[in-house]
Copies of this chain bind each other. A is one copy, B any other.
Amino acid sequence: MKTLEKSTPCELCMSRKFSLFSNLSEPHLCHLSDHKNFITHKKGQILFYEGTKPLGVFCINDGVVKVFKTASNGKEQIIRLAKKGDFLGYASLLGEESYSNSATIVEDAKICFVPRESFIKVLGEDTEFHRRVTKALCHDLGIMEDKLTDATQKSIRERLAFTLLKLSETYGIDGNEGEKINIILTREEIAGLVGTATETVIRLLSEFKKDELIDFEGKKILVLDKRGLARLSDFYG
């Protein structure tokens, strides 16, 4: 048994509000609460590996998790960063396949694990929930199409600028000078997000800083000029 801790019951979980579990019935919530497993994870820990069999779904209560594929050249392509309220591993579970990707903790996380049986049970009994899951999958598919198109048709500079904008959208907090991307990512991880080499990210970030589009505050990035980044990130502003 791993880290035992007082785990919030699903009925009272705040992060549930933003999740696919948001509209579940009382009995279903209780069922999940009774069967889930609450675990605290430290940065760097591994949630699951590509190629292994999913035994349930993960529901992030707090923290950040990176979902990535390891390419044949050894580099990590980050598929997405998952945060509070996000689900992990449900696509592989419902696709009845092995994990198509791996997941590791980027920021200390509290994660609930809902075993396969409970998840499937709720899915089968609550049609509305199944519909929402399907809808989420469809949405994710659209996002992946966008990412693929960007990957093949845009330059690294454009993609990096776009990535910074997206990060500031999700993790940005206002400061006196620009918006701070309140998450620590290594240059290598940013490279994995963009799909490029680490050195290229380092060089482009310095360039962006020189052009006063961004600045650094410790290990975090300040977005100074969103409009400028937006202009850089696309052919059309």
Measured CB to CB, the residues of A under 8 A from B are 69, 71-73, 75, 77, 79, 90-92, 94-97, 100-101, 124, 127, 130, 133-135, 137-142, 144-154, 194-196, 234-236
Contact = CB atoms under 8 A, between A and B. Distances in A.
Contact of A144 (B130, B135, B145, B234): B145
Contact of A149 (B71, B91, B96, B152): B71
B153 A92 contact: no
Copies of this protein, total: 2
A233 to B, nearest CB: 10
B196 A142 contact: no
Contact of A148 (B94, B95, B147, B154): B147
B71 A154 contact: yes
Nearest to A95: B138
A235 B72 contact: yes
B79 A142 contact: no
A94 B153 contact: no
Given A151-B151, A152-B77, A141 B142 contact: no
